[in-house]
Every structure is written in structure tokens, then in C-alpha cells.
Chain A
Amino acid sequence: MLKDLIIFSTFVKLLLFPTYRSTDFEVHRNWLAITHSLPISKWYYEDRSEWTLDYPPFFAWFEWILSQFAPLADKEMLRVDNLNYTSDATIYFQRATVIISELVLFYALKKYLTTNNMKNKNLLNILAASIFLNPGILIVDHIHFQYNGFLYGIFLLSLAYAKEGNDLMCGIMFAVLLNFKHIFLYLAPAYFVYLLRHYCFQETSIQGTKKFSLKHFFFLGVSVIIIFLLSFGPFIIMGQLGQVLSRLFPFKRGLCHAYWAPNFWALYSAMDRVLIVFAKRLGWTLNESAIGSITRGLVGDVNFALLPQVKANHTFILTLIFQMASLVKLWKRPSYKNFLVSLILNGYSSFLFGWHVHEKAILLVMIPFSLISADNIALFRSYMILAVSGLYSLFPLLFKLTESTIKIVICLLWFILTFMGILSNLNYKRNNIKKYSQSNESKLSYLIKIIENIYMYGFIILQFFTGIVHQIIYKDGKYPFLPLLSTSIYCAFGVIYSWIRLSVIYFLGKDDENQEVNS
């Protein structure tokens, strides 16, 4: 079955070759050129192209390895000054590297499946396929062009190790991951707490108490440091650490990314705009310079007219606060399940409250969430809302009409297979307790269910509006930001709702209930 999956997915991805490429394609071509043609000392200084190297060193090495094979396709892509070079061979080569690198994800999924003792094999296959062929990965990696697939593979590997109890490897894998793409730093607190508590504190013979194990702490610490040294070492020796760090953490960018990730700040901005209208009516004083700044949907510093200004440290603190909340429970009881949910919640907080968040980061939440989406119906419904809002929020990445059919079709296919697949397997198991739960279903939860369903069907209307109606009504291009605005806001509701729901389940659930229903 898995063999079929990988062959089929390869065909699916190969078919996507002629689709739209974003500037990210040129970014990676540039990095291939830089790592291949320039000595290491120049890698983080090269700036002939505007797409400078801003990922950690392991990724640079990855590009270097790929560039060794590039001459087989087209030598010209490796010239640093060959900006925006897109020969057919270049495209084929780069797209092929994405497909091949995703074998890591496949391996990770396979490993995760074998460590999982879920009785329902069907469900496992569905979950694996839903991750491997996640439309988000297809859209972001195979069309828009990035290399997230194999990074999520490493991420899942670390989770697989954690699940089977090999915490040391889990930590090592995460360190490796961090050195590939530092966005995973958002998840570091959860890892830190879990590994510290679970690995470095060992159970003693006295029930319930834990003893700090210096040996484990030492192993973990040294391994992580070694990984970081492998990665940053050359640059430290060359004294370039400062330059590298400044490339990795550019805080000059604005609060909201170009397309307004559906997070809290999007709602905040929207609220600000709404208040402006009221304020004008009521004659309040406004921050005049702010009125025009955020409506064009471009990257830049955002000024708010009425609500308080938001700086980078504000977002940082807010994110930390919300992350801490889930970490407390993790500290008290460091089970794998709590670890996983904390990771997801951490991902949520960083997505919702972070600075300059990309909507692609929703995958950081969605992928680990898929792993527990089939555990019970409540988790499943939260996952459903997240999946729909998250995937839909990726649609603006493919703004051209030519990709519109593709993104809708693959999402539809994925929804049908994943949702109905999981649902039918859940129902199948629940058949004997169905009568019990139906009579106990309160009016409130029934109402919630209806609202959720209406929300999800609302996406069809939203797509209709942003895709067709808006073009017709505002043919001369008035209000160009309106589709993006409505997409962001509508999706933000979904993301925040699923976050709250998951948090409720997590915080209110007793620990023995956290056991998987079907194991």
C-alpha cells in the first residue's frame, strides 16, 4: 500500500511541473549558484541577488549537495549572476529535487507508522497519505516552490523517536531540523520542556518523584551542541557569526506579511479599520498616517489608527505567554501525547501572535495535528476546521487563474478522502456506543456542530466571491485588497476557533483520557 502511495504521489507531483513558480524558485536557484560557485566564506555575504541566503548552514549544505548534480541538467543555473534563469532543464531539475527530498518525509511516515500500535491499519494509512499528499505541501512545495516536505520529514522523525521513547534521538533530530530552517525555533520551548522533564528527570523507585539525571542531561546537551557546532562551526571560525545571525533574523519586516496570514493580528488590523469608520463618524482624533498604510496588502511597517501600536517585542511576549500555558501542563505530566499537543499549541501561538508570520506556517500546526486527528471525534472536528481554514488561506499564494482549478480540485479530493475516511472509520468503531452518545448530546454541542458546518460551507461562498463575483463587481480594480482581506479574516476565525477548541480539550482532558480511544 505504501509503495502504491509513493509511486502515485510521484505522478501527481510530476504533473505539477508546468505550474506557476513564485520568486522562491529563483531564491533556490540563486542559493544553488552561491553554494556551488562561491567559497564558504562568501555564502552569507553574497548579495548580488536580492534573495540572500537566510536559512541556517545545514540548508546551505543541502543546496550545495544538490548543486553537485545540477550540471547534469543545466550548468547555466549555477552562475551567480544568472538572475531569474529559468530554462526547462532548470525547472525540471529543481522540481525533481523537491520530489526526491520528500523521500525523507516518506521514510519518517513509514517509521512513525511502525511505531504506532493503533489497531486500525486503515486509519493509519489514511493519516499517512493525508500528510504525504497534503495539499498544503503540494501547493507550497511543488507549485509555489519550497523545500518544506523533507523538513517536515525530519520533524516527524523526531516525533517518531519520541513516541518510541528514544528521547536522545528526538532531541538530536530537532537540533538538526533547527539548523535547516530556524522557523522551527517556535517549537523549541515544547521540546525543551519535554526533553528536560521526560528525559533528564528519571523515575525513581519511589512512586511519583523524579530525580534529575546529570548523565542524560549531559548526553543531550553535548549532542545538541555538537550539531550546532557542525553547522555554525565554520562560520564561527571565520568570525562571521554576527553576519549569519543578522541574515537569519531580519526584524526589519513588518507585522503582517504581504498576504496577511490569518492570525490574530489580521483580526486586530481589521478591527482597527472598522473602528476608523466609527471614529470618523464620532469625530475622534486619529493617527492620520496610519489610515492608508495597511490596506494595500503590501509588506511594510503597519501603523494602527486607533488601537495601540504593536512592536516586535510585544508579539514575542504574547507568544511566549500563550506557549507557557500549555507547557505548564507538559511539565507536570510529560507524556508523549501531551508533548504532541503542546507542540501543536505552541505552533498555534506562534502562528497567531508572532511577528511577520507567513501563512505557510500553518502547515507547522496542521501536520502534527494530523497525527492525532483521528483519536476522537472532538479532535477530529477541530482538525477539520483548521484544515479547511488553513488550506484555504494558502489559496492566495496561487493568485493566478490558471492554478485556481488545481488548488480547488486537490483540496476537494483531499477533503473527501481524509475527512470521510477518518469519519467512516471513527463511526465504525463508535457504532456500539453510538446510541449512548446521541442521547447525551446536548443542545449546545449540536448547535456548535451546526455552526461549524455552516462555517465550512461558507468557504464555498467565499471562494465564489473572491474568485468570480469580485472581479465582476469591481471590474476596474477598485478595492483590490478586498478578496485578500476577507480571506484572511474568514480563515482567522477558523484557525483561532480550532486553537481554542484544542486548548479546551487539552486543558480539561484528564490524563487517562488522553490515551488513544482506539488502541
Chain B
Amino acid sequence: MSKSSETVDNNGFIIPNNDQDPVVDSPAERWLNWLGQTNLGKCSTVITLLFGIYVRWNVGLNPYSGQNIPPMYGDYEAQRHWMELTLHVPMNRWYYYDLEWWGLDYPPLTAYVSWICGKIGSMFNPEWFALDVSRGFESEESKLFMRSSVLILEYLIYVPSVIVFVNWWLASKSWQKRRLAVLFILLQPALILIDHGHFQYNSVMLGLTVWSLNCFFYEYDVIGSVAFCLALGFKQMSLYFSPAIFAYLLGKCIKNKPQGFILFVKLGVTVIITFAIMFFPFLDSVEHISQVIIRMFPLNRGLYEDKVANFWCAINIIIKLREMFEIHVLTRISLFATLLAILPSCINLGLNPDKHRLVYCLANSALAFFMFSFQVHEKSILLPALPITLLILDEPFWSSWFNNVALFSMFPLLKKDRLILPYFVIWFMWNWMGSFVQRDVKPVVLRYISWASYLVMAVIHFFDFNIDPPKRYPDLYITNNFAI
């Protein structure tokens, strides 16, 4: 970049003169411009982070999944129980211990992290994790502790990864654009509501995935693959991303011979070693490791649970697949459909392992899995949501529309958790900040379609509050409208 194409503004930041993006006057942009004018530009990240804490903490004050609902409670109890379990039960019994009460069904890294949390929590009050007695334990302090653990883990892992990502991804744009992206990504409603409302630790898995992306951007492929293995080791759901990552790395290996071959070997070895370390305690017998795998991939549960916005459920309204075919046939159909969906973009990526394409392919592959895979949870929409949100400034229209629809599809879940108010507040706040509803797209007709979908969402919400019967079907329609 020549000197004349840059200027230095009064914050000492460099602004490229070729910032060609169309100007959209959204409140967030006005905010950042104003910060720049008042010489506060350098504080903008701190302000965003502090505000992020504020939002997350307030959401956390709301009920969590299964609060006060015996006998089984919900995901919160599951996480608490795993802390209790890993703390007291010997390691070789972790995947066997009382499988009826929230048995462990995530890979070992979750278990290790739970163990750490349990250890720290017991320093405050051992009652929270007392073996067996603490089932369904609910107190204000323990809720505070659990919520804090989500927040701290998120700020340690996910938030820095996003900042690093944005700094690379938008390096050629102005600092305002970068801060803008960080603001939008970190205030993404879906993740906040699920992690800090419903209660989960998705941000750890998503954060590790973004770290792996960051490593790939800076050519630290080996470390990147370690990061991704850790993500896989934390939640097996990140398998949704694996085709894309695999295609990228494979493509890279093939492209530059002979370094590519060395890279291939290095990667292979690293991956194997990482998995070996993670699964080490469970490798003592074939039976043990297969128990772990069965817990992680319960194939006998059926093709779908009722309320997920994916392809099979939508079809279920018309064609009752579950009644037509047997389970192993359905498994094969879903596998085939998934493969079909991911192949085009992955092959594309494999042939041209380009960093930008990687993120798009990630979105594709995750979405494909979501649409066609087996036993999909509605919370899994967070997985395609991640790369799509990371693209918020590149594709503001699609990214925001997807996020809005994704959030809407999770509404029944959030409603059950009595998170209705924060749902609306954060949703509207995020959209208002980015003026997302007014974003342009070609062809213009898509904009109207999106508005129509928002209208339908509003109508459904309205009816929801006034009429009781289940309205799960309509939200499936919406998501599918988009997908197709």
C-alpha cells in the first residue's frame, strides 16, 4: 500500500483510503465514528468487552434450563452432575456411571474441564458437588458459580479468538470496521442465549475452532489442527466442521509437493497424538473405548427428535419417514444426503485451499450436517451460525438473516427455559445496532423475502402468546424457506 492511500486519523489508527464498502448508517457505526471523534478509539475494544460482560451476566440472571423442574431438571443439572461425577468417580467409570441420570455423553475434554470446574467449585462449597446427594442441587451461589464458569471460559477462549480472527480477516479495512465486526460477533444473540441462558459451554468448542482457523491463517497448520482436535475432543458436534477443515488441509498438502507430503505426515502424527492424549485413560480396553464412542454417538436414538428445524423434520410433515423405513436404512439415507451436500464445496476447497474459502466452506459443511444429519439438536444451529456470524461484515444481509432465523428456530427451547424477555431484548438490540433489517442485497427481491419471513415470525410470536397449541411446524418452514 503506497503512502498516499493511507491516512492516519486522530487516534493514531491507519485508515486505508480505498475503503470501498457501502456506507450504512447503523447505530453501531455511528457509535464507533463518535468514539473516534472523541479520541476514545483506543478504548473501543475494552468498552465492547465490558458491555459483553454486562449483557451476558444479565442474561445469566434469568432461569437456566430445567431450573426448578424436578425430577430431571435440564442441561444445567447435566453439567453440574458431570462436575460431581468427574470429581468423585474414578476415571475408568466415568462413562459407565449411572447412565440414566445425565450420563456423560461428550468426549473427554469436556470431562477434564468439568473436573477443573468441580475442583474449584468445591473450594467454595463442597455441597454443590457432593456425590449423589447433590442431584438437582440448586442454590443462588452455585448458580453464580456455574454462570461465572461459562463467562470466564468464554472470555478466555472464545473472545480472544474472535478478536484475533477479525484482526486478520479485516486487516485491510479500517479499524472501525474491525471493531464493528468484533461488536457484532460478540453480541450474537444465539450464542449468548444458549450459553448464558439455557446453560452450555458451546463457546469453548466454538472458540477452539476459531483458534484453529486463526492458526491456519498464520500458517501454523499443525497447531491449528491440534486446536481443532481439542474442539472435537470437547464436543463431538464439531465434526460438522471437519469436512471443511479436512478438505483445506488435504488440499494444502496436495498443492505443494514435496513440503505438502511432510505437512501431511506432520498433521497425521499430531492428530493421532492429540487424540491419544485426550483419550488415553479410556484406551485400556476395546470395550471401554467403544463404550465411550457409543455414549458420544448414540445411533439408536432415531433419525430426529421432533422439534428441530432440519430437512427430515420438515419432510416429516408430509412424508412420515420414520414409519416408512427402518432405522439403519434411515441412517444410510441421512449419511448419503449429508455427503452429497458437503461434497461440492469441499472439493472446491480441496482444489483451491484458500483461507477465505475455508470459512465459507465451514459454513456450508456445518449447515449441510445440520440439515441432513442424524439426531440433530436445535442447539446445533450454533455450529453453522459461527462461521456465518464471522462473515457478518462480508455478507451482512445473509449473515444477519440466518442469525435471526436461527434464533427464531430456538425460540421453543428458550420459551421452555423462560428466557423470553432476554430473547427479545438481545435480538432487537443486536438487529438495531447493526441496522440489519435494512441491509441491501442483490437481487432486491431477496430483501422482501427476508422481510416477509420476519413478518411471519412476528405473526407466529403473536399467536404464540395468545394461542396455546403447538406451533413447531411453522418455524421449521421458515428455516427451510431460507435453506432452500
Contact = CB atoms under 8 A, between A and B. Distances in A.
A393 B59 CA distance: 26
Contact of B43 (A4, A17, A416): A416
Interface in B43-65: 43, 46-47, 50-51, 53-55, 57-59, 61-62
Closest 3 A/B residue pairs (Cβ) = A424-B39, A15-B58, A18-B61
A487 to B, nearest CB: 21
A15 B46 contact: no
18 contacts: A4-B30, A4-B31, A7-B432, A8-B27, A8-B429, A11-B428, A11-B432, A15-B59, A18-B421, A122-B37, A405-B57, A406-B58, A409-B50, A413-B50, A416-B50, A417-B43, A421-B38, A424-B40
A126 B39 CA distance: 13
Contacts of A425: 38
B27 A420 contact: no
Interface string A120-145: 00100110000000000000000000
A12 B55 CA distance: 8
B325 to A, nearest CB: 45
A401 B38 contact: no
Give the bracket for the number of chain A residues in contact with chain B.
Answer: 20 to 34
A401 B425 contact: no
A122 B43 CA distance: 17
A504 to B, nearest CB: 30
B140 interface: yes
A15 B144 contact: no
A413 B34 CA distance: 16
Given A19-B58, A19-B61, A416-B50, 9 more contacts: A1-B34, A14-B421, A18-B58, A122-B37, A400-B140, A401-B144, A406-B54, A416-B47, A417-B40
Contacts of A402: 61, 140, 144
B38 A92 contact: no
B54 A413 contact: yes
A474 interface: no
B103 to A, nearest CB: 31
B40 A420 contact: yes
B98 interface: no
Contacts of A125: 34
Contacts, number: 77
A15 B141 contact: no
Interface in B203-227: none
- Most A Cβ at <10 Å: residue of B31, B47, B57, B144: B57
A401 B53 contact: no
A417 B47 contact: yes
A284 interface: no
B422 interface: yes
A1 B30 contact: yes
A48 B38 CA distance: 54
A428 interface: yes
Nearest to B31: A4
B75 to A, nearest CB: 19
Interface of B: 27, 30-31, 34, 37-40, 43, 46-47, 50-51, 53-55, 57-59, 61-62, 140-141, 144, 421-422, 425-426, 428-429, 432
- Most A Cβ at <10 Å: residue of B58, B59, B422: B58
A24 to B, nearest CB: 18
Contact of B425 (A11, A416, A424): A11
A185 interface: no
Interface in A19-61: 19
- Most B Cβ at <10 Å: residue of A4, A92, A417, A428: A4
A16 interface: yes
A409 B46 contact: no
Nearest to B59: A15
A405 B56 CA distance: 11
B50 A11 contact: no
Contacts of A12: 54
**Mostly helix, strand, loop or mixed at chain B's interface?**
helix
A379 to B, nearest CB: 19
A412 interface: yes
A420 B43 contact: yes
Contacts of A424: 38-40
A15 B53 contact: no
B38 A416 contact: no
A410 interface: yes
Nearest to B27: A4
Contacts of B53: 405, 409
A11 to B, nearest CB: 4
B54 A92 contact: no
A363 B141 CA distance: 31
Interface in A171-198: none
Contacts of A1: 30, 34
Contacts of A412: 50
A506 B317 CA distance: 77
Interface string A403-431: 00110011011001100110011001000
Contacts of A4: 27, 30-31
Given A7-B432, A402-B61, A413-B47, A15 B55 contact: yes
Contacts of B38: 122, 126, 421, 424-425
A428 to B, nearest CB: 7
Nearest to A16: B58
Contacts of A406: 54, 57-58
A171 B140 CA distance: 49
Contact of B51 (A17, A19, A400, A413): A413
Nearest to A427: B39
Nearest to A402: B144
Contacts of B141: 401
Interface in A82-124: 92, 122
A124 to B, nearest CB: 12
Nearest to B58: A15
B152 to A, nearest CB: 11
- Most A Cβ at <10 Å: residue of B37, B38, B53, B421: B38
A300 B283 CA distance: 68
Nearest to A13: B425
A15 B31 contact: no
A517 to B, nearest CB: 18
Contact of A7 (B27, B34, B39, B144): B27
A420 B429 CA distance: 26
Contacts of A401: 141, 144
A408 B161 CA distance: 25
Contacts of A16: 58
Contacts of B50: 409, 412-413, 416
